């Protein structure tokens, strides 16, 4: 059996930055500090379970005030970590207010810089006279955060076809179009979205916001999948970028599987010497899990 591991598999810069920070935080101050992430730190169940075993708790922003009260009653400090996906503007404001009111509370913002850039675009480029359209999963945490910064008419839509239908019925009004994408979106969908804009809107502002790591990972994964008999995509089931990798690979290599860990591989995958196998992994997949599969 020939097995090739993608060079771009595993933690991206933003995820590594966040996980390194939280792990250092646990090592340095968990003895006197309650550490909370607002939502799961990354979209990888196995990693988050390991973090929880070390005392890091994932909570909703609505639980933050009660967490501060518990810490104060126990004479402990409290740290709230904003994960790589970012938060809605109003949720971050809640955390900042708690930190301002309580000297033993602090907020650590680990939002990915690529996501921060889209926050800035949404906030600075939109107004009541604009239409902000984002190619992305409307319920994804990153998208919820981005949309909270946009003013005026706005829509987050999951496919290029959805965006095309949305824009077609609005093409004759006077609103200017601002177009961007979730950082982990499919490059193919984004290129298709741009074609709709070229057809319907001649004065739109287009921001290429799919991160470079996503671009490189998708390009490499598709190339490997085309040359493989079997393709294995490793990552959390709730990971958007892992899902996109799986879809892209399956389109060119029908024998593509998506797994969270090596334990999910069938014996056939482990022993069939006639197959040429390639492996890639999402941006939230720890190196240890990838190496177990490899």
Which residue of the set 142, 215, 247, 292 is catalytic?
Answer: 142
- Burial string for 243-266 (b: 16+ CB within 10 Å, else e) reads bbbbbbbbebbeebbbbbebeeee
Backbone φ and ψ for 35, nearest 5 degrees, come out as -110, 125
- Among residues 142, 199, 145, the alpha carbon closest in space to that of 168 is found at 199
Q: Is 98:68 a contact under the CB 8 Å cutoff?
A: yes
DSSP 251: H
> CB atoms < 10 A from the CB of 215, how many?
14
Based on the residue annotation, tell me whether 189 is a catalytic residue of this protein: no
Paired tokens of 169:
């019925």
Number of Cβ within 10 Å of residue 46's Cβ equals 14
Residues annotated as catalytic are 142
């Amino acid at each position: 059996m020939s097995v090739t591991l993608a060079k771009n598999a595993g933690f991206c810069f933003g995820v590594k930055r966040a996980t390194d920070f939280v792990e250092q935080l646990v090592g340095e101050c968990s003895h006197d500090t309650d550490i909370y992430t607002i939502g799961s730190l990354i979209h990888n169940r196995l990693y988050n379970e390991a973090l929880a075993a070390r005392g890091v708790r994932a909570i909703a922003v609505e639980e933050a005030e009660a967490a501060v009260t518990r810490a104060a009653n126990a004479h402990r400090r409290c740290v709230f970590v904003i994960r790589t996906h970012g938060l809605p503007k109003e949720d971050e404001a809640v955390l900042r207010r708690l930190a301002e009111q309580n000297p033993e509370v602090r907020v650590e913002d680990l939002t990915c810089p690529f996501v921060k850039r889209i926050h800035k675009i949404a906030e600075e480029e939109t107004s009541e006279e604009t239409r902000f359209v984002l190619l992305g999963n409307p319920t994804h945490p990153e998208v919820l955060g981005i949309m909270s910064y946009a003013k005026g008419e706005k829509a987050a839509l999951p496919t290029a076809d959805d965006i095309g239908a949305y824009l077609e019925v609005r093409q004759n009004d006077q609103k200017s179009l601002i177009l961007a994408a979730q950082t982990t979106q499919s490059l193919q969908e984004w290129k298709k979205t741009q074609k709709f804009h070229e057809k319907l809107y001649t004065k739109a502002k287009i921001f290429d916001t799919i991160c470079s790591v996503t671009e490189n990972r998708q390009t490499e994964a598709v190339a490997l999948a085309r040359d493989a008999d079997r393709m294995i995509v490793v990552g959390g089931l709730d990971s958007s970028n892992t899902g996109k990798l799986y879809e892209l690979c399956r389109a060119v290599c029908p024998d593509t599987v998506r797994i969270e860990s090596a334990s999910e591989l069938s014996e056939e995958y482990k022993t069939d010497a006639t197959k040429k196998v390639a492996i890639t992994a999402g941006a939230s997949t720890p190196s240890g899990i990838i190496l177990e599969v490899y």
